[in-house]
Structure 1
Amino acid sequence: MSRHAPVRRGGDAGGASVWAATAAAVLLLVGTVGVDLAAAARARHVASAAADLSALAAAGQSVDGTAAACARASDLAVRNGAELLTCRLDGWDALVETQVAWSGLLPLRGPARARARAGPAPVDAGTPPASGPVDGSVPAVEPS
Protein backbone atom coordinates (compact mmCIF):
# COMPACT_ATOMS: atom_id res chain seq x y z
CA MET A 1 0.00 0.00 0.00
CA SER A 2 1.22 3.30 -0.88
CA ARG A 3 0.38 6.31 1.12
CA HIS A 4 0.00 9.61 -0.52
CA ALA A 5 1.36 12.64 1.20
CA PRO A 6 -1.32 15.22 2.04
CA VAL A 7 -1.53 18.10 -0.34
CA ARG A 8 -0.08 21.16 1.32
CA ARG A 9 -1.84 24.39 0.71
CA GLY A 10 -0.40 27.80 1.19
CA GLY A 11 -0.26 29.45 4.59
CA ASP A 12 -3.62 31.18 4.01
CA ALA A 13 -5.87 28.15 4.41
CA GLY A 14 -9.10 29.32 6.11
CA GLY A 15 -8.38 33.00 5.37
CA ALA A 16 -11.72 33.47 3.60
CA SER A 17 -13.56 32.31 6.72
CA VAL A 18 -11.79 34.95 8.81
CA TRP A 19 -12.62 37.66 6.28
CA ALA A 20 -16.26 36.53 6.10
CA ALA A 21 -16.60 36.53 9.90
CA THR A 22 -15.02 40.00 10.10
CA ALA A 23 -17.32 41.35 7.38
CA ALA A 24 -20.36 39.89 9.16
CA ALA A 25 -19.30 41.49 12.46
CA VAL A 26 -18.80 44.88 10.79
CA LEU A 27 -22.18 44.66 9.07
CA LEU A 28 -23.84 43.74 12.36
CA LEU A 29 -22.23 46.70 14.12
CA VAL A 30 -23.18 49.13 11.33
CA GLY A 31 -26.74 47.79 11.37
CA THR A 32 -26.99 48.18 15.14
CA VAL A 33 -25.76 51.76 15.02
CA GLY A 34 -28.15 52.50 12.14
CA VAL A 35 -31.13 51.12 14.04
CA ASP A 36 -30.19 53.18 17.11
CA LEU A 37 -29.83 56.37 15.07
CA ALA A 38 -33.20 55.76 13.42
CA ALA A 39 -34.84 55.14 16.80
CA ALA A 40 -33.31 58.33 18.21
CA ALA A 41 -34.47 60.38 15.22
CA ARG A 42 -37.98 58.95 15.49
CA ALA A 43 -38.12 59.72 19.22
CA ARG A 44 -36.98 63.29 18.55
CA HIS A 45 -39.65 63.77 15.88
CA VAL A 46 -42.36 62.35 18.13
CA ALA A 47 -41.27 64.62 21.00
CA SER A 48 -41.23 67.64 18.69
CA ALA A 49 -44.65 66.92 17.19
CA ALA A 50 -46.14 66.28 20.63
CA ALA A 51 -44.67 69.53 21.96
CA ASP A 52 -46.03 71.53 19.02
CA LEU A 53 -49.51 70.05 19.27
CA SER A 54 -49.58 70.34 23.07
CA ALA A 55 -48.55 73.99 22.94
CA LEU A 56 -51.25 74.74 20.38
CA ALA A 57 -53.86 72.96 22.48
CA ALA A 58 -52.77 74.77 25.63
CA ALA A 59 -52.81 78.13 23.86
CA GLY A 60 -56.33 77.38 22.65
CA GLN A 61 -57.43 76.71 26.24
CA SER A 62 -55.50 79.61 27.79
CA VAL A 63 -58.68 81.61 28.36
CA ASP A 64 -59.79 78.88 30.80
CA GLY A 65 -56.65 79.24 32.94
CA THR A 66 -53.38 77.41 33.43
CA ALA A 67 -54.89 74.26 34.93
CA ALA A 68 -57.28 73.66 32.03
CA ALA A 69 -54.68 74.57 29.41
CA CYS A 70 -52.02 72.29 30.86
CA ALA A 71 -54.49 69.43 31.35
CA ARG A 72 -55.36 69.64 27.66
CA ALA A 73 -51.66 69.82 26.74
CA SER A 74 -50.88 66.77 28.88
CA ASP A 75 -53.71 64.79 27.29
CA LEU A 76 -52.47 65.60 23.80
CA ALA A 77 -48.85 64.79 24.68
CA VAL A 78 -49.84 61.36 26.01
CA ARG A 79 -52.02 60.66 22.98
CA ASN A 80 -49.03 61.42 20.77
CA GLY A 81 -46.70 59.07 22.64
CA ALA A 82 -44.89 61.62 24.80
CA GLU A 83 -44.80 62.80 28.38
CA LEU A 84 -45.47 66.44 29.27
CA LEU A 85 -42.60 67.64 31.46
CA THR A 86 -43.46 71.32 31.88
CA CYS A 87 -46.38 73.52 30.96
CA ARG A 88 -46.95 77.18 31.75
CA LEU A 89 -48.72 80.19 30.39
CA ASP A 90 -46.91 83.43 29.70
CA GLY A 91 -49.77 85.80 29.04
CA TRP A 92 -51.63 84.21 26.13
CA ASP A 93 -48.61 82.14 25.12
CA ALA A 94 -48.31 78.50 26.15
CA LEU A 95 -44.84 77.08 26.77
CA VAL A 96 -44.47 73.29 26.99
CA GLU A 97 -41.71 70.71 27.12
CA THR A 98 -42.23 67.06 26.22
CA GLN A 99 -40.12 63.93 26.53
CA VAL A 100 -40.12 60.58 24.73
CA ALA A 101 -38.24 57.61 26.13
CA TRP A 102 -36.72 55.26 23.58
CA SER A 103 -34.81 52.06 23.88
CA GLY A 104 -31.80 51.39 21.75
CA LEU A 105 -29.48 48.47 21.29
CA LEU A 106 -26.39 50.40 22.36
CA PRO A 107 -25.94 51.63 25.94
CA LEU A 108 -25.65 55.30 24.90
CA ARG A 109 -29.20 56.59 25.05
CA GLY A 110 -31.45 59.00 26.85
CA PRO A 111 -34.88 60.52 26.41
CA ALA A 112 -35.63 62.80 23.48
CA ARG A 113 -36.92 66.21 24.58
CA ALA A 114 -38.57 69.08 22.74
CA ARG A 115 -39.93 72.51 23.63
CA ALA A 116 -42.61 74.54 21.92
CA ARG A 117 -44.33 77.88 22.30
CA ALA A 118 -47.71 78.80 20.86
CA GLY A 119 -49.90 81.85 21.10
CA PRO A 120 -51.35 84.68 19.08
CA ALA A 121 -49.14 86.25 16.44
CA PRO A 122 -47.55 89.54 17.48
CA VAL A 123 -49.08 92.62 15.92
CA ASP A 124 -46.59 95.03 14.35
CA ALA A 125 -48.34 98.31 13.58
CA GLY A 126 -45.24 99.79 11.91
CA THR A 127 -45.17 97.51 8.85
CA PRO A 128 -46.98 98.78 5.78
CA PRO A 129 -49.39 96.40 4.06
CA ALA A 130 -47.98 94.46 1.13
CA SER A 131 -48.68 96.07 -2.21
CA GLY A 132 -49.75 94.16 -5.26
CA PRO A 133 -52.59 91.86 -6.17
CA VAL A 134 -54.00 89.64 -3.44
CA ASP A 135 -54.48 86.64 -5.71
CA GLY A 136 -50.74 86.31 -6.44
CA SER A 137 -50.97 87.22 -10.11
CA VAL A 138 -48.34 89.38 -11.73
CA PRO A 139 -49.58 92.83 -12.86
CA ALA A 140 -49.36 93.53 -16.57
CA VAL A 141 -46.59 95.86 -17.67
CA GLU A 142 -47.66 98.80 -19.82
CA PRO A 143 -45.49 99.41 -22.89
CA SER A 144 -43.76 102.80 -22.90
Structure 2
Amino acid sequence: MSRNDVRSVRRARRGRARSDRGSATVWVAMALAAIGIVFGGLLTMSRAVEARHRAGAAADLAALAAADHWMEGGPVACALAKKVARAQDARVTRCAVHGQISDVTAMSGTGPLEARARSRAGPAGPVGPRA
Protein backbone atom coordinates (compact mmCIF):
# COMPACT_ATOMS: atom_id res chain seq x y z
CA MET A 1 0.00 0.00 0.00
CA SER A 2 1.22 3.38 -0.92
CA ARG A 3 1.18 6.37 1.34
CA ASN A 4 -1.75 7.89 -0.57
CA ASP A 5 -3.76 4.70 -0.16
CA VAL A 6 -3.20 4.73 3.61
CA ARG A 7 -4.31 8.36 3.77
CA SER A 8 -7.45 7.71 1.76
CA VAL A 9 -8.34 4.75 4.02
CA ARG A 10 -7.83 6.94 7.10
CA ARG A 11 -10.00 9.70 5.59
CA ALA A 12 -12.72 7.17 4.82
CA ARG A 13 -12.61 5.87 8.38
CA ARG A 14 -12.78 9.41 9.81
CA GLY A 15 -15.75 10.19 7.57
CA ARG A 16 -17.58 7.11 8.74
CA ALA A 17 -16.81 7.91 12.39
CA ARG A 18 -18.14 11.42 11.91
CA SER A 19 -21.36 10.14 10.33
CA ASP A 20 -22.06 7.91 13.37
CA ARG A 21 -21.49 10.78 15.75
CA GLY A 22 -24.59 11.36 17.95
CA SER A 23 -26.31 8.13 16.99
CA ALA A 24 -26.19 6.91 20.60
CA THR A 25 -28.29 9.93 21.58
CA VAL A 26 -30.98 8.87 19.12
CA TRP A 27 -30.94 5.28 20.43
CA VAL A 28 -31.15 6.45 24.05
CA ALA A 29 -34.02 8.81 23.20
CA MET A 30 -35.91 6.00 21.45
CA ALA A 31 -35.31 3.63 24.37
CA LEU A 32 -36.54 6.22 26.88
CA ALA A 33 -39.64 6.87 24.77
CA ALA A 34 -40.39 3.13 24.65
CA ILE A 35 -39.89 2.81 28.41
CA GLY A 36 -42.20 5.80 28.92
CA ILE A 37 -44.91 4.25 26.77
CA VAL A 38 -44.69 0.93 28.60
CA PHE A 39 -44.71 2.68 31.98
CA GLY A 40 -47.75 4.77 30.97
CA GLY A 41 -49.59 1.63 29.89
CA LEU A 42 -48.81 -0.09 33.18
CA LEU A 43 -50.04 2.94 35.14
CA THR A 44 -53.28 3.02 33.17
CA MET A 45 -53.80 -0.69 33.68
CA SER A 46 -53.18 -0.38 37.41
CA ARG A 47 -55.75 2.45 37.65
CA ALA A 48 -58.31 0.25 35.90
CA VAL A 49 -57.62 -2.63 38.29
CA GLU A 50 -57.91 -0.27 41.24
CA ALA A 51 -61.29 1.01 39.99
CA ARG A 52 -62.53 -2.57 39.60
CA HIS A 53 -61.45 -3.56 43.09
CA ARG A 54 -62.92 -0.39 44.58
CA ALA A 55 -66.26 -1.01 42.84
CA GLY A 56 -66.30 -4.64 43.98
CA ALA A 57 -65.53 -3.77 47.59
CA ALA A 58 -68.11 -0.96 47.63
CA ALA A 59 -70.80 -3.23 46.14
CA ASP A 60 -70.06 -5.97 48.68
CA LEU A 61 -70.14 -3.62 51.66
CA ALA A 62 -73.22 -1.76 50.43
CA ALA A 63 -75.10 -5.03 49.86
CA LEU A 64 -74.20 -6.22 53.36
CA ALA A 65 -75.37 -2.92 54.85
CA ALA A 66 -78.66 -3.07 52.95
CA ALA A 67 -79.22 -6.71 53.90
CA ASP A 68 -78.55 -5.87 57.54
CA HIS A 69 -81.35 -3.26 57.50
CA TRP A 70 -83.92 -5.05 55.34
CA MET A 71 -86.54 -4.89 58.11
CA GLU A 72 -86.56 -1.07 57.94
CA GLY A 73 -87.72 -1.21 54.32
CA GLY A 74 -86.09 -0.95 50.91
CA PRO A 75 -85.68 2.86 50.76
CA VAL A 76 -83.97 3.04 54.17
CA ALA A 77 -81.75 0.03 53.40
CA CYS A 78 -80.76 1.48 50.00
CA ALA A 79 -80.03 4.90 51.53
CA LEU A 80 -77.64 3.20 53.94
CA ALA A 81 -76.09 1.25 51.04
CA LYS A 82 -75.47 4.53 49.16
CA LYS A 83 -73.87 6.06 52.24
CA VAL A 84 -71.53 3.08 52.60
CA ALA A 85 -70.61 3.19 48.90
CA ARG A 86 -69.84 6.92 49.08
CA ALA A 87 -67.47 6.21 51.97
CA GLN A 88 -65.64 3.83 49.61
CA ASP A 89 -65.38 6.48 46.82
CA ALA A 90 -68.00 4.70 44.73
CA ARG A 91 -71.63 5.27 43.83
CA VAL A 92 -74.62 2.96 43.87
CA THR A 93 -76.33 2.74 40.49
CA ARG A 94 -78.89 0.12 41.44
CA CYS A 95 -80.24 -1.07 44.76
CA ALA A 96 -83.08 -3.52 45.32
CA VAL A 97 -84.22 -5.22 48.51
CA HIS A 98 -86.44 -8.28 48.12
CA GLY A 99 -87.29 -9.67 51.52
CA GLN A 100 -84.02 -10.41 53.28
CA ILE A 101 -81.93 -10.29 50.11
CA SER A 102 -80.32 -7.11 48.83
CA ASP A 103 -78.95 -6.63 45.33
CA VAL A 104 -76.59 -3.69 44.81
CA THR A 105 -74.64 -2.46 41.78
CA ALA A 106 -71.82 0.02 42.43
CA MET A 107 -69.55 1.98 40.08
CA SER A 108 -66.12 3.46 40.64
CA GLY A 109 -63.69 5.44 38.50
CA THR A 110 -64.28 7.91 35.70
CA GLY A 111 -64.28 7.91 31.92
CA PRO A 112 -62.76 4.88 30.22
CA LEU A 113 -61.50 3.58 33.58
CA GLU A 114 -64.99 3.24 35.04
CA ALA A 115 -65.77 -0.12 36.64
CA ARG A 116 -69.06 -1.66 37.71
CA ALA A 117 -69.65 -4.48 40.18
CA ARG A 118 -72.78 -6.23 41.39
CA SER A 119 -73.23 -7.91 44.74
CA ARG A 120 -76.01 -9.76 46.55
CA ALA A 121 -76.29 -10.33 50.27
CA GLY A 122 -78.75 -12.09 52.50
CA PRO A 123 -79.06 -14.93 54.95
CA ALA A 124 -76.79 -17.92 54.61
CA GLY A 125 -79.54 -20.52 54.47
CA PRO A 126 -82.60 -20.84 52.26
CA VAL A 127 -85.21 -18.09 52.51
CA GLY A 128 -88.95 -18.54 52.24
CA PRO A 129 -91.77 -20.70 53.51
CA ARG A 130 -89.89 -23.98 52.94
CA ALA A 131 -87.06 -22.88 55.22
**Percent of aligned pairs sharing the same letter:** 39
Residue-by-residue CA offset, 1:34-66 (whole Å, 9 max, x unaligned):
110111111111110000000000000101100
Question: What is the TM-score with the length of structure 1 in the denominator?
Answer: 0.73
The answer as to whether partners of 1:39 and 1:102 remain within 8 angstroms in 2 is no
The answer as to whether partners of 2:51 and 2:113 remain within 8 angstroms in 1 is no
Residue segments in structure 2 that go unaligned for 5+ positions in a row: 1-10
SS in 1 for 2:107: strand
Opposite residue 48 of structure 2, the aligned amino acid is A
Aligned residues: 114
Give the helix-richer structure, 1 or 2: 2
The answer as to whether partners of 2:47 and 2:113 remain within 8 angstroms in 1 is no
Rounded Cα–Cα distance in structure 1 between residues aligned with 2:35 and 2:41: 10
Rounded Cα–Cα distance in structure 2 between residues aligned with 1:110 and 1:102: 6
- The equivalent of 1:73 in structure 2 is 81
- What's the RMSD between the two structures over aligned residues? 1.8
* 2:11 maps to 1:8: no
- Given the alignment, which residue of 27, 31, 41 partners 1:19? 27
What is the Cα deviation at residue 13 of structure 1? 2.3
What is the Cα deviation at residue 102 of structure 1? 3.7
- Given the alignment, which residue of 18, 40, 43 partners 2:48? 40
What is the Cα deviation at residue 31 of structure 1? 0.7
* 2:95 maps to 1:92: no
Residue segments in structure 1 that go unaligned for 5+ positions in a row: 104-108, 125-144
Opposite residue 81 of structure 1, the aligned amino acid is D
Rounded Cα–Cα distance in structure 2 between residues aligned with 1:39 and 1:102: 10
